[in-house]
Structure 1
Amino acid sequence: MNRLFIVSLIVFLAACRESSAPHVAGQEELLTTAAPIAVKVVVVNMFELGEDEGDAAGEFQLWKERQQLSQRFAFPQSHHDLFLNPDTGVLGMVTGMGTNRSSSAIMALGLDPRFDLSKAYWLVVGIAGFDPEDASIGSAAWAEWVVDGDLGHEIDARELPQDWTTGIFPLFSQGPYPEKRPPNQGEVFHLNGKLTDWAYEFTKDTELPDDPAIAESRALFTQYPKAQLPPQILKGDNLAGMTFWHGQHLNRWANQWVEYWTEGQGQFVSSAMEDTGTAQSLFYLDRAGKADYQRLMVLRTASNFTVPAPGLSAAESLLHEGESYAGLALALESAYRVGGKVVDELVNNWSDYQHRLPYEE
């Protein structure tokens, strides 16, 4: 698929939307009561391509349509207005791309007096690049760990000392992967592992869509047995960074970086651009009594691989035009089928899950 085209289109349309789309009187639902709205689930998406309904879908559109998020709340302090289903208590938000936008959007929502988020579950759900060692396009991975790929030192690979394997190394260290791990400055966030396990077990048998074009393209990855399989649901951890990286060397670094910061407990599967920003803000909001960090879930689905197809260089893979990009639609559908099952379960059994987490007796 033409990954550069997708990313460029997303960035362009998101920028246009943010800078030029006015709030239209009559389309926004104004708050008419001082009592905050009790939210059951916050669905956190990162981008939308164009309109929120009726055109080519980004991450938000399927959720808005299928969860009937019809009540609009102006949210000028962030990237995109909020939409609520007042009957189910599901609130949808679009943070914008990157850890800077995700962190500011989550914090803005958490401090918004219109909503009571003290019992809300937070489902981060969006597309990502996947390591072909772990799964195929259209697959879905529940994360227990989210690791930041930006905080650190870096020198150009052409200037590496001869005994270094990478030019990216932790802050407050003197080289790659020191034996004593430096203090965590926001490089790693551990989610509620029991909730991750519950979400995985609850959804692992969900039927995922497939596509003949995707099946044909994944067959090229002969060195990666799992990349050739139909879409699947798994547990796997997320690396978040503002840079859209690609290639074998950086993929190797991503695996090592996640393993290092999780002290061997996490495994890199998905690469995205927002999740540590979201986790950081929810961590702070939890301390302020505004949200419950233990109710955060992260689900990413594979729209592309983090390495090139056999026979292509990293540059050719990233810049090549004319490929099918059907992986985007497949990943979006997988995201809704898997994540939607969890949202529906939480809402339909809210009398229980409001007071206890789903894995608790």
Structure 2
Amino acid sequence: MAGLMTAGASSPLRAEEPVKVKVFVAAMFEIGQNTGDRAGEFQHWYERYWKDSQPIAVKGALNPVHCNADGVCGSVLGMGKVSSSASMQAILLNPQLDLSQSYFILSGVAGTPPSRGTIGAVNWATWLVDYDLGHRWAPEEGEPGAPTFMPRKGYEALRLFKLNPDLVQWAMRLTADTPLKDSESARAYRLRYPQETARRAPFVGTGTHMTGDTFFHGPGMSEQAQYIAKLYGADDYVITEMEAAAITLVIKRLQGDERVMSLRGAVNYDQGNPDETTLQHLDPAPGQTAGGFAETVENIALVGTRMADHIVAHWDRWQSGVPAPVK
């Protein structure tokens, strides 16, 4: 038989057409359910786009994919480089989804150095840098005051990604004036830090996102992250996170990275204030945390949905590639 036939039909059965994805939103974790409880990285996106969706199971992905009729899809990929990139590869290779023209928003919470960010701020990446691919040694085993990191040869194409400058410019143009949420607890917490930027209200910015499976912390590690960013020729290190460079590598290998965006909201500083040690900051006493988590995850979605909605509403201009930014 040339094909399966339905009873009384004159044409073969056709496989269901894959979903043509215009924007794919990748979160890394959720707290509890996708709706109706405390929101993690996915809930605000889910409640905007997918409350009435039917989940699409994807073999090899940590969680199902959700899609709406406008071609906006999303999923929770898992935390860390291995889980998140494995989920992304499974989703990209799944025949139920056509992501060949998709724009990707890699979305989640993060840390920030107090000299460059503040609690509740939202940041679009200009560069993604892998923090882990290199050699490290204890400070006392090297020259006093010298860096304790050296890049490992052979990883040049894996450790550094310059994201599409036109896409970053569009993102800032469309979202820089987004009204952002704040909280009394976050405002009070900021006053523990002397840095002017650390005391700012939430804002939308850009910079380098540093991807590391190690949850590095303290002024020394923050300085090392900035050293690595500059060593590689990237912009200032502004965000510490655990997934974006690995996810982007998977997307780049399968279809290119010209449509990748990394969007992060700061829920903590990458170091303590002058009156606490690094270990005290890592393991704060009850009531001593930064606050502002709920507001930050909402801010991420407030900013990111502006970008997603614009792309979908003007798909005739965006389908074939990023339009030239308006000057």
Query: Structure 1's 206 and 320: CA in aligned 2 closer, same or farther, altered over 3 A?
Result: same
Q: Are residue 38 (structure 1) and residue 9 (structure 2) matched?
A: no
Deviation at 1:185, TM superposition (A): 4.2
Q: Are residue 162 (structure 1) and residue 143 (structure 2) matched?
A: yes
The aligned counterpart of 2:267 is: 303
The aligned counterpart of 2:199 is: 228
Task: Describe how 1:1-361 pairs up with structure 2 within 5 A.
Answer: 33-69=15-51, 70-85=53-68, 87-158=69-140, 160-163=141-144, 165-172=146-153, 184-222=156-194, 224-261=195-232, 263=233, 265-286=234-255, 292-322=256-286, 323-359=288-324
1:302–1:327: 8 Å Cα contact kept in structure 2?
no
Letter in 2 for 1:352: R
Letter in 2 for 1:283: K
- CA offsets per residue over residues 103-161 of structure 1, 9 Å max, x none? 11111111111111111110111110011111211001111100001111112233x22
2:189–2:290: 8 Å Cα contact kept in structure 1?
no
SS at match of 2:258: helix
If the length of structure 2 is used for normalisation, what is the TM-score? 0.91
CA–CA separation in structure 2 for the residues paired with 1:236 and 1:141: 7
SS at match of 2:108: strand
Unaligned runs of 5+ in 1: 1-31, 173-181, 287-291
SS at match of 1:237: strand
Deviation at 1:325, TM superposition (A): 4.7
1:219–1:228: 8 Å Cα contact kept in structure 2?
yes
Query: Structure 1's 220 and 164: CA in aligned 2 closer, same or farther, altered over 3 A?
Result: closer
CA–CA separation in structure 2 for the residues paired with 1:55 and 1:76: 27
SS at match of 2:24: strand
1:236–1:268: 8 Å Cα contact kept in structure 2?
yes
Between 1:272-281 and 1:317-326, the stretch displaced more is: 317-326
2:26–2:75: 8 Å Cα contact kept in structure 1?
yes
SS at match of 2:188: helix
Deviation at 1:68, TM superposition (A): 2.7
- CA offsets per residue over residues 314-340 of structure 1, 9 Å max, x none? 001101221245322121011011001
- CA offsets per residue over residues 272-305 of structure 1, 9 Å max, x none? 000111110011011xxxxx42111111111110
Indicate the structure (1 or 2) with the bigger Cα radius of gyration: 2
CA–CA separation in structure 1 for the residues paired with 2:321 and 2:220: 44
| RMSD after superposition | 1.7
CA–CA separation in structure 1 for the residues paired with 2:145 and 2:88: 38
Deviation at 1:66, TM superposition (A): 1.3
CA–CA separation in structure 2 for the residues paired with 1:77 and 1:247: 36
Deviation at 1:77, TM superposition (A): 1.2
If the length of structure 1 is used for normalisation, what is the TM-score? 0.83
- CA offsets per residue over residues 245-291 of structure 1, 9 Å max, x none? 11000000011111111x2x4110000000111110011011xxxxx
Provide the aligned length of Structure 1 versus Structure 2: 311
Deviation at 1:310, TM superposition (A): 2.5
